[in-house]
Chains A and B, each alone.
Chain A
Amino acid sequence: MSALDSLYQQIILEQSKTRTGADLPNDQLQGLHLPAGTGQSHELNPVCGDEITLRVETSPGADGQLVSGIHWAGDGCSISMASASILSELMVGLAVEEVHDLIENFREVMRSRGKLQADEEVLGDAAALSGVSKFPARVKCAMLAWVATENALAQLS
């Protein structure tokens, strides 16, 4: 597989069009009057203009707080949009603690400059983004939605 094909795996090209979770209404981008257990964050990559506003909804579960919904609105390259879509499929239903672990795991892979291969058992479809770590200029694209999720969760407390 060429370096380009390892970056743009079929699953990424598909997810960049599917855009699971990309249903945050325009009139809610400001994130005003969020219900309890909900956090929202806006992230922008000023270098290329990639942008996302992402909302995380949580509800109490048997083992602590669970992520019950992820909704976002964004504009950007296929890597950033696919990453947001994959994240939305991956994280709904997980405990907040598990989500934090996943973000850390993903960040470590992204910062590895191609040395770490993502564990598909852990990261699911996000493992397809492993190839991004060989392209330092694109790591921020892949991280955008994950950073937004982290910052949205930080608002919960």
Chain B
Amino acid sequence: MVLTSTDHFHDGPLNDVEVLRIRNDFPILDQEVNGQPLVYLDSGATSQKPISVMEAEQEFYEQRNSAVHRGAHTLAVAATDVFEDARATVAAFIGAQENELLWCANATAGLNLLAYSFGNASIGEVSPEARQFAVGPGDEVLVTEMEHHANLVPWQELCRRTGATLKFIPVVDDGSLDMEAAAALFTRRTKVFAFTHVSNVTGVINPVLELTGMAHDVGALVVLDACQSAPHLLLDVKALDVDFAVFSGHKMLAPTGIGAVYGRAELLDAMPPFQTGGSMITTVTMEQASYLPSPQRFEAGTQAISQAVAFAAAVNYLSETGMARIHEWENFLGQRMVVGLEAIEGIRVLGPSAGTARAGLAAFAVDGVHAHDVGQFLDAAGIAVRVGHHCAQPLHRRLGLSASTRASTYLYNTTAEVDAFLAAVAGVRPYFGITGA
């Protein structure tokens, strides 16, 4: 019997029994840290990897390793086949065609690729079809106040290089976007709108369709940072009608060093390259070069081949488990965390309160105790969380903080782990001698 999907066996929602089985695929989770069972609640920073992903990478090196898209020997063909199969698999995972997916090192690299490609369309001699990406004095690039630095700084730099102006949609007190302000910010001057699908700090899930509609109404290109959504929910870039999307493999069970940029085919074919060199050209003379169509045009040099192959194994693992089921489970864990945290004296949860939709993560401030100390205390209990500004300084400043503690879940976290985390957080203020509300 050939099984193409395990969904037949797991039609219902994920539950602790199945999660315990899933954990068997993640050997790193079965260990003690500081004498306590590891509770890994830092998947928002990077996820752990299942055996199938590690084996995919090892199998590539044991049997197929070779440079892709060059060389006529058998191994080169085998390597090119699995490399391109991986592209088709990851593209299908987000609802895209395979020629619409570019490999990059991670989401940061992908956002820089876009910002620099747009920059190359803005300066010097530019082909007519590339002019749609150009920005300059009088034009605006619009972002939001909740962006990760990776989706802010590259746009600051693009504006600095081209003379365009950077604007942002502010957030309101619960961390969601000020939609009234947003409506006024989209104008004919808006050329690019770059925003995150899910906030890595507050877990806010942005209304992508509504925002994309506003952007397209004024003719702006839409760039979606899907770093915190692609790993956790069913992402369909066509249904969301975005022009570009970027995400990192390492946050969704794949190795580090591999990520992807989605772009609508007609846009990628018109966009000038960012990095240039080998493997992306057709004809080169001593004076000039012409370029291959996408995706090769954007993949200069030898690519992260084994990582791309392992990325496909990762999305297969997610698809077989079921993205809707993963989303539902994380929503359950996230709500349990927020309800539990809100019940602890002196804890302020950032973002939406309990009962409002959010990703399966919670960042919080502990009155009287710095986030760094909270993280240290939790680490002593075997609990791994993120502390600091989570690469979102402007958002923290807006919320009146310099740092927070973030616990983020994934498909391998159990109810018991969330409860252990909550029990440990309840012990933080007493340990540091802080009392009162």
What is the interface of chain A, defined by CB distance below 8 A to chain B? 2-4, 7-8, 13, 47-51, 75-79, 135, 138, 141
Give the CA-CA distance A149 to B145 in the complex, in Å.
Answer: 35
How far apart are A141's CB and chain B's nearest CB, in angstroms? 7
B370 beta carbon closer than 8 Å to chain A: yes
- Bound together, the chains give a CA A7 to CA B34 distance in angstroms of 14
Q: Which of B388-437 contact A (CB under 8 A)?
A: 388-389, 393, 402-403, 431-433
Whether B402 and A141, one on each chain, are in contact in the complex, defined by CB atoms closer than 8 angstroms, is no
Q: How far is the CB of B401 from chain A (nearest CB, A)?
A: 9
Chain A residues with Cβ below 8 Å from B332 are none
Is the Cβ of A141 less than 8 Å from the Cβ of B372? yes
24 cross-chain CB contacts under 8 A: A2-B380, A3-B380, A4-B376, A8-B373, A8-B431, A8-B432, A13-B433, A48-B372, A48-B387, A48-B403, A49-B388, A49-B389, A49-B402, A50-B372, A51-B402, A75-B402, A76-B372, A77-B371, A77-B372, A78-B369, A78-B373, A78-B432, A79-B373, A135-B376
Interface pair B432/A13, CB less than 8 Å apart: yes
A76 to B380, CA, bound (A): 20
Q: In the docked arrangement, what's the CA distance between A120 and B370, Å?
A: 27
B377 on the A face (CB < 8 A): yes
Contact B402 A78 (CB under 8 A): no
What CA separation (Å) do A79 and B432 show in the bound complex?
A: 12
CA distance A75 to B433 in the complex (A): 19
Most buried by A among B34, B372, B388, B393: B372
Task: Tell me which residues across on chain A come within 8 A of B371, comparing CB atoms.
Answer: 48, 77
CA distance A77 to B393 in the complex (A): 17
Add 18 more A-B contacts to A2-B380, A4-B377, A77-B371 (CB < 8 A).
Answer: A3-B34, A4-B376, A8-B373, A8-B376, A8-B432, A13-B433, A48-B371, A48-B372, A49-B389, A49-B393, A75-B402, A76-B370, A76-B372, A77-B372, A77-B373, A79-B372, A135-B376, A138-B372
Cα–Cα distance between A8 and B369 once the two chains are bound (Å): 12
A138 touches B433 (CB 8 A): no
Kindly report which residue of chain B lies nearest to residue A7, judged by CB atoms.
Answer: B376
Complex Cα spacing A11 to B373, Å: 15
Which residues of B are found within 8 Å of A135, using beta-carbon distances? 376
Query: How far, in angstroms, from A49 to B401 measured CA to CA in the complex?
Result: 10
B108 to chain A, nearest CB (A): 16
Q: Which residues of A contact B380 (CB under 8 A)?
A: 2-4
B383 to chain A, nearest CB (A): 12
- Centre residue among B377, B388, B393 by max chain A CB count within 10 A: B388
CB distance from B59 to the nearest CB of A (A): 35
Binding site for A on B (CB under 8 A): 34, 369-373, 376-377, 380, 387-389, 393, 402-403, 431-433
Q: List B contacts of A3 (CB < 8 A).
A: 34, 380
SS class of chain B's interface: helix, strand, loop or mixed? mixed
Q: Which residues of B are found within 8 Å of A141, using beta-carbon distances?
A: 372
Q: Which of A48, A49, A50, A76 has the most CB of B within 10 A?
A: A49
| A77 and B370 within 8 A (CB) | yes
CB of B29 to closest CB in A, whole Å: 22
Q: Could you tell me the distance in whole angstroms from the C-beta of A17 to the nearest C-beta in chain B? A: 8
Give chain A residues whose Cβ lies under 8 Å from the Cβ of B433.
13
Residues of B within 8 A of A79 (CB): 372-373
Closest 9 CB pairs of A and B: A77-B372, A77-B370, A4-B380, A49-B402, A49-B403, A48-B388, A48-B372, A77-B373, A78-B373
Q: For A8, what are the chain B residues with a Cβ–Cβ distance below 8 Å?
A: 373, 376, 431-432
Residue of A nearest to B393 (CB): A49
- Chain B residue, CB-CB nearest to A4: B380
Q: Which residue of B lies closest to A17 (CB)?
A: B433
Complex interface: chain A residues within 8 A of B389 (CB):
49
Nearest chain-B residue to A75 (Cβ)? B402
A76 CB to nearest chain B CB (Å): 6
Chain A residues within an 8 Å CB radius of B403: 48-49
Please name the residue on chain B nearest to A10 by beta carbon: B433
Chain A, residue nearest B34 (CB): A3
Which residues on B sit within 8 Å (CB–CB) of A13?
A: 432-433
Which residue of chain A has its CB nearest to the CB of B368?
Answer: A17
What residues of B have a CB within 8 angstroms of the CB of A49 in the complex?
A: 388-389, 393, 402-403
Q: In the assembled complex, how far is the CB of residue B24 from the closest CB belonging to chain A, in whole angstroms?
A: 30
A77 to B405, CA, bound (A): 12
Q: Which residues of A contact B372 (CB under 8 A)?
A: 48, 50, 76-77, 79, 138, 141
In whole angstroms, how far apart are the Cα atoms of A30 and B218 in the complex?
A: 43
Which residues does chain A contribute within 8 Å of B431, judged by CB atoms?
A: 8
Closest approach, in angstroms, between the C-beta of B42 and any C-beta of chain A?
A: 14
Q: Which residues of B contact A76 (CB under 8 A)?
A: 370, 372
Cβ distance B202 to chain A, nearest Cβ, rounded Å: 18
List A contacts of B34 (CB < 8 A).
Answer: 3
Kindly report which residue of chain A lies nearest to residue B369, judged by CB atoms: A78
How many angstroms from the CA of A78 to the CA of B428 in the assembled complex?
13
In the complex, what's the smallest C-beta–C-beta distance from B412 to chain A, in angstroms?
25
Contact residues in B for A50 (Cβ distance below 8 Å): 372
Chain B: minimal CB distance from A22 (Å): 15
Q: Which residue of chain A lies nearest to B381 when distances are taken between CB atoms in the complex?
A: A4
Residues of A within 8 A of B377 (CB): 4
